[in-house]
């Protein structure tokens, strides 16, 4: 078991991607699934970067909050395991969020991370980072809002925005949808 102090310093740096790259041996030893992401072509028009580069951009794209940065670091670690190339040569990653959450859970167990509220926030953000809010029924949305609570709803949209901005630019118009969705959800919370 390695000390996580170095990971915390890296994640809370002004530009964590640079420190992650400078400390790849440490990072890959700590999170082997992250190494598998390096150079992994996603074969998807939404994703011009390999999974690793995309992940680093998401980590840099959220503010220096431990919960956000840790969630960003693990959010797509399950993609390699779930990769599926369709008949048209387009890559898909069905259920990668659940595998990414499992990878985070294993990481926590291996490193004796206590399952406290911080752990639960990170775990939920990893699991729900790719959820399509507009496809939820009112009941599903109410359940999600209840599960996450105000702070994690805010964090969820920060992750979703950073994730989208680390994808192909032609899809960045969806940021407006995220703004609308977040506003709608926050109104439900404040009622």
- How far apart are alpha carbons 168 and 126 in whole angstroms? 21
DSSP 170: G
DSSP assignments along 13-57, one per residue: SSSHHHHHHHTHHHHHHH-HHHHHHTT----BTTB-S-HHHHHHH
Would you state the pLDDT for residue 188?
82
Contacts by residues 166-171 (CB-CB < 8 Å, ≥ 24 positions apart)? 166/49, 166/54, 166/55, 166/57, 166/58, 166/61, 167/46, 167/47, 167/48, 167/54, 168/45, 168/46, 168/47, 168/48, 171/46
Instruction: Please choose, from the candidates 64, 74, 55, the residue with its C-alpha nearest in 3D space to the C-alpha of residue 113.
Output: 74
Low-confidence residues in the chain, pLDDT < 70: 1-2, 191
Would you state the pLDDT for residue 3?
73
Would you state the pLDDT for residue 1?
43
- pLDDT tens, 38-86? 999 999 999 999 999 999 999 999 999 999 999 999 999 999 999 999 9
Q: Which domains does the chain have, with CATH numbers?
A: 5-190 (1.10.3210)
Would you state the pLDDT for residue 191?
59
Would you state the pLDDT for residue 64?
95
Would you state the pLDDT for residue 2?
58
């Amino acid at each position: 078991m390695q000390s996580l102090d170095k990971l915390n310093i890296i994640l809370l740096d002004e530009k964590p991607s640079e420190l992650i790259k400078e400390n790849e041996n440490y990072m890959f030893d700590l999170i082997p699934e992250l190494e598998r992401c390096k150079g992994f072509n996603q074969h998807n028009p939404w994703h011009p970067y390999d999974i690793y580069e995309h992940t680093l951009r998401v980590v840099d794209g959220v503010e220096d909050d431990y919960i956000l940065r840790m969630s960003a670091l693990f959010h797509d670690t399950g993609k390699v395991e779930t990769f599926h190339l369709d008949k048209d040569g387009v890559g898909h990653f069905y259920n990668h969020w659940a595998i990414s959450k499992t990878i985070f859970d294993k990481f926590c167990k291996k490193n004796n991370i206590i399952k406290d509220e911080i752990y639960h926030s990170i775990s939920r953000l990893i699991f729900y980072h790719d959820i399509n809010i507009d496809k939820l029924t009112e009941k599903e949305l109410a359940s999600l809002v209840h599960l996450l609570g105000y702070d994690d709803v805010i964090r969820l949209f920060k992750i979703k925005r950073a994730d989208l901005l680390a994808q192909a630019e032609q899809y960045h118009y969806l940021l407006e949808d995220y703004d609308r969705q977040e506003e709608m959800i926050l109104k439900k919370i404040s009622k």
